[in-house]
């Protein structure tokens, strides 16, 4: 079946893909902010530093804060951390009204780093480009933190899921 490239058709197509669920945080003169994102990808595993990108809606206060603070941290959620994703996506409110109270935090080069994320990547902003409705933020990875082992939380088919090995597939 062919479909036009309307916004609705595009969103339906994207629902057929899978992405890790990440909390992007920042802190500094622009304030402490965080948001749930699925648009995160490695750009280069290179010398002298690795680079990744995240996409944040340009009207989000998080986008402005990242630009002003010059740093951010990508916290990749484990499969058992759905509540944290929902909190930072604004679907669930904490009792005290501070979404940061739904998890424990440490400092990562100025940005909040989840103490128990699957992995956290502290970054310095390298470049920000407006593309459509989002700011694409490129960052050099300054530090990595590996939390408790587990499987990543993924978002696919408009639902949370956790990956698992396929029967007979080699484990690497």
* pLDDT tens column, 31-87: 999 999 999 999 999 878 899 999 999 999 999 999 999 999 999 999 999 999 999
Any idea which residue has 């109270």 for tokens? 101
C-alpha closest to that of 99 among 131, 75, 69, 71: 75
Residue-range domain boundaries for the chain = 19-161
pTM reported for the whole predicted model? 0.90
CATH class of 19-161: mainly beta
Here the tokens at position 59 are 């009207």
Which residue would you say has higher pLDDT here, 80 or 10? 80
* pLDDT tens column, 156-169: 888 998 888 778 77
Is-contact 20 39, C-beta < 8 A? no
């Amino acid at each position: 079946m062919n479909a036009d490239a309307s916004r609705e058709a595009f969103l339906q197509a994207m629902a057929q893909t899978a992405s890790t669920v990440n909390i992007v945080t920042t802190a500094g003169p622009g304030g402490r902010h965080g948001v749930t994102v699925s648009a995160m990808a490695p750009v280069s595993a290179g010398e002298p530093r690795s680079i990744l990108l995240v996409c944040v809606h340009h009207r989000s206060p998080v986008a402005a804060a990242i630009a002003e603070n010059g740093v951010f941290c990508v916290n990749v959620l484990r499969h058992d951390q759905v509540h944290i994703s929902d909190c930072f996506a604004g679907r669930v409110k904490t009792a005290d009204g501070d979404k940061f109270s739904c998890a424990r935090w440490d400092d990562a080069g100025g940005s909040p780093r989840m103490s128990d994320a699957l992995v956290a990547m502290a970054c310095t902003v390298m470049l920000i480009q407006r593309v459509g409705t989002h700011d694409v933020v490129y960052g050099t990875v300054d530090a990595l933190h590996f939390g408790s082992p587990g499987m990543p939380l993924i978002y696919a088919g408009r639902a949370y899921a956790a990956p698992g090995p396929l029967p007979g597939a080699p484990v690497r």
